[in-house]
């Protein structure tokens, strides 16, 4: 195979979602930056985010960033680092305004300011009532963020390498020298030689069977870093969003409940009143997902099946508004205007008209709280002692700052990616100003090219989709909303077998070069397998229940022993070494979490 082409930049950013493009805008102010993405930037999954971006603008009622911070910490089940949460919630206000200045078409309220809506876990800390904090553009807020950032990148002439897939990080001891990528169009390998590298590649929801995540969310950036010795933080915490479309997993935004929608079980009961008496359907996602599981387990799913109803019909919503003493009332037109995409999804995929009938929903694998460990400047950490790997950055879902702890609040993913994407860009620009471009090692692409040749030419009998199905089934059965030791042990065993089968028996039909998505899917499966294994290994070791990690055999939170972040480091024999780092506390002392 021909020698890879070498490109030289100050900084390369891998991934063109919200975090990557925000970083590009800032790093690009002084550094020569390339953004490499396996998709056209506007295909990135930031665009699928619906309900809103959280920031205490206080446009409709009293709100303050400290309340947002407390809600985030409480939502995280006290696992978030409180210094990082302060940064998130303070910066949130400025970045939302900045997005508006970049042209983002937020919905407006009567006085012309940005419109805000209620969202799960966001409260007025004095009254404990839901607060209007989620800034939104209808139910396509992520779409508008992605489009606005892409537009501004075009305006600022950012260098994009679209449909180039990054497959390796060039690390020499404790320095980075760039990345290796494949040009998907012709299969050629390229080396991007740089001072700084940033990963902003999103999550890995495709480890599970039912997920809101795009097919492309295969955790490439996290897996690449893990294979190059970077630990993965808090991998046991993976969020299951309570309201995915039944069987399909397509997300139905929490904004539906923010606008007054309620969850109803097979007996016609608004069951969240029992689980979260004060904010009911707007409790944190982990709480609501568990409630749905328990209702189904007790035989109170719809027609005894494993789903419940999400009801946003004006009749139902107004009934509960009245019952709760709320002045607000909604109409069908209001729902159409505020939730047009949701209405379109359910009409298209379910034949259900949400202004007339309830929607069948079940929890769906949604968001990785864990990932590549970073500090608040998005610098990647090498260990639990906070040692930085100079020149390496991560932000967005792939990173773990940690601002989400054991459970992320709705709207905080968008806040996270613009806040920490921006901070990464600023810090990278500074780094590139002073750092030297270190030389490339000999044949930096050799190892990964050999791996691709191996997959391409392997004479096995197992296709990607069969192994992927096996992984998704065991992860769904054994490492999802509720967990118990024996099941997680089974998942670990299954995943070891799947990993072995993948290594020995994987086969692809396409031996060509151009748009060989067969080969790339096979490689991506390898990433998912490694991340699933890290998830199971981290989960079985944590003998408590916290946030999204809920164990039947350890039902209580254990602050004496487990107010710690997990660092899982992949060893050369394929096992994981687990080390722990204490959570950074602050104003908010851990206390029982009641909604």
Partner 1 sequence: MQVNIKIRRYNPEKQAKAWWGEYTLQDCSRTDSVLDVLHRVKWEIDGTLALRRSCAHGVCGSDAMRINGANSLACKMLISRLGKEGADSINIQVEPILGLPVLKDLIVDMEPFMEHYRSVLPYFINDEPAPADGRERLQSQADREKFDDTTKCILCAACTTSCPSYWANGKYVGPAAIVNAHRFIFDSRDEAAESRLNVVGDTFGVWRCRTIFNCTNACPREIEVTKAIAEVKVALATGKV
Positions that interact with partner 1 (CB under 8 A): 39-40, 42-45, 47-48, 94, 96-97, 100-103, 105-114, 137-138, 140, 143-144, 147-148, 151-152, 154-155, 185, 214-216, 248, 250, 341, 344-345, 348-349, 463-465, 508-510, 512-518
Nearer to partner 1, 137 or 550 (CB): 137
Q: How far is the CB of 95 from partner 1 (least distance, A)?
A: 12
Question: Which of 133, 206, 285, 546 does the annotation list as catalytic?
Answer: 285
Nearer to partner 1, 149 or 548 (CB): 149
Nearer to partner 1, 459 or 589 (CB): 459
- Across the chain, which distance is largest between two alpha carbons, in Å? 71
| Residue at token pair 């991998």 | 235
Strands 359-368 and 506-507: unpaired
Q: Which CA distances in Å does 134 have to 67, 102, 413, 414? A: 13, 19, 12, 10
Nearer to partner 1, 77 or 209 (CB): 209
Q: How far is the CB of 50 from partner 1 (least distance, A)?
A: 9
Q: What span, in angstroms and rounded, lies between the C-alpha atoms of 106 and 148? A: 11
Q: How far is the CB of 242 from partner 1 (least distance, A)?
A: 18
Nearer to partner 1, 60 or 440 (CB): 60
Q: How far is the CB of 104 from partner 1 (least distance, A)?
A: 8
Q: How far is the CB of 536 from partner 1 (least distance, A)?
A: 25
375 within 8 A of 386, measured Cβ to Cβ: yes
Cα end-to-end distance, the chain, whole Å: 60
Residue 442: DSSP 8-state: S
Bond into 367 cis (ω within 30):
no
Nearer to partner 1, 185 or 298 (CB): 185
Q: What span, in angstroms and rounded, lies between the C-alpha atoms of 526 and 517? A: 14
Contacts of 221 (CB under 8 A, 6+ apart): 14, 15, 166, 199, 200, 201, 202, 372, 394, 398
DSSP 368-436: ES-BEEB-TT-EEESSTT--EEEEEEE-STTEE-SSSTTSPPTTHHHHHHHHHHHHHHHHHHHHHHH--
| Structure tokens belonging to residue 104 | 């983002």
Q: How far is the CB of 465 from partner 1 (least distance, A)?
A: 4
Any bridge partners for residue 570, and if so which?
Answer: 576
454 assigned to active site? no
Q: How far is the CB of 235 from partner 1 (least distance, A)?
A: 24
Nearer to partner 1, 11 or 55 (CB): 55
Q: What span, in angstroms and rounded, lies between the C-alpha atoms of 446 and 435? A: 26
Which residues are tagged catalytic?
Answer: 285
């Amino acid at each position: 195979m021909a020698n890879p082409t070498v490109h030289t930049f100050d900084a390369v950013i891998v991934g063109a979602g919200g975090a990557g493009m925000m970083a590009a805008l800032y790093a690009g102010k002084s550094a020569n930056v390339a953004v490499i993405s396996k998709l056209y930037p506007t295909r990135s999954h930031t665009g699928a985010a619906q309900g809103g971006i959280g920031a205490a603008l206080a446009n409709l009622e009293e709100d303050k960033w400290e309340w947002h911070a407390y809600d985030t910490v409480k939502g995280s089940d006290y696992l978030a680092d409180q210094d990082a949460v302060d940064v998130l919630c303070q910066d949130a206000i400025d970045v939302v305004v900045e997005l508006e200045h970049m042209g983002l078409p937020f919905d407006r309220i009567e006085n012309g300011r940005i419109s805000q809506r209620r969202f799960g876990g966001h409260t007025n800390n004095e009254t404990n009532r839901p607060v209007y904090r989620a800034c939104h553009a209808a139910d396509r807020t992520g779409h508008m963020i992605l489009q606005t950032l892409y537009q501004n990148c075009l305006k600022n002439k950012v260098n994009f390498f679209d449909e180039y897939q990054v497959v390796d990080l060039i690390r020499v001891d404790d320095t980075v020298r760039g990345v290796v990528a494949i040009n998907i169009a012709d299969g050629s390998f390229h080396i991007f030689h740089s001072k700084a590298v940033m990963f902003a590649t999103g999550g890995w929801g495709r480890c599970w069977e039912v997920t809101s995540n795009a097919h492309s969310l295969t955790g490439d950036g996290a897996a690449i870093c893990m294979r190059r010795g970077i630990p993965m933080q808090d991998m046991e915490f993976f969020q299951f969003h309570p309201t995915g479309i039944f069987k399909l997993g397509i997300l139905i935004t929490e904004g539906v409940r923010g606008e007054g929608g309620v969850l109803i079980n097979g007996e016609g009961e608004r069951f969240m009143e029992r689980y979260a008496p004060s904010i009911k359907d707007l409790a944190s996602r982990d709480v609501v997902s568990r409630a749905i599981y328990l209702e189904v387990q007790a035989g109170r799913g719809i027609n005894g099946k494993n789903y419940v109803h999400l009801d946003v019909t004006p009749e139902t919503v107004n009934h509960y508004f009245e019952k709760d003493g709320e002045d607000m009332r909604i109409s069908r037109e209001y729902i159409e205007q505020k939730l047009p995409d949701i209405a379109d999804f359910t009409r298209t995929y379910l034949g259900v008209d949400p202004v007339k009938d309830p929607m069948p929903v079940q929890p769906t694998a949604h968001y990785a709280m864990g990932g590549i460990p970073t500090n608040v400047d998005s610098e990647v950490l090498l260990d639990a002692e906070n040692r930085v790997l100079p020149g390496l950055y991560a932000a967005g879902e792939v990173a773990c700052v940690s601002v989400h702890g054991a459970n992320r609040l709705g709207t905080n993913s968008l806040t996270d990616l613009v806040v920490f994407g921006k901070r990464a860009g600023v810090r990278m620009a500074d780094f590139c100003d002073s750092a030297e471009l270190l030389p490339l090692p000999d044949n930096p692409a050799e190892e990964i090219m050999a791996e691709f040749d191996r997959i391409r030419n392997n004479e096995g009998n197992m296709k990607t989709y069969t192994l992927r199905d096996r992984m998704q089934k065991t992860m769904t059965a054994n490492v999802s909303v509720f967990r118990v030791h024996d099941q997680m042990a089974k998942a670990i065993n299954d995943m070891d077998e799947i990993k072995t089968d993948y290594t020995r028996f994987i086969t692809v039909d396409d031996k060509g070069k151009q748009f060989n998505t067969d080969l790339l899917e096979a490689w991506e499966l390898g990433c998912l397998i490694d991340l699933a294994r890290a998830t199971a290994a981290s989960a079985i070791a944590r003998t408590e229940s916290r946030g999204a990690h809920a164990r039947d055999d350890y039902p209580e939170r254990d602050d004496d022993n487990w107010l710690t972040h997990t660092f899982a480091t992949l060893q050369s024999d394929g096992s994981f070494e687990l080390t722990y780092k204490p959570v950074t506390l602050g104003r908010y002392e851990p206390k029982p979490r009641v909604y």
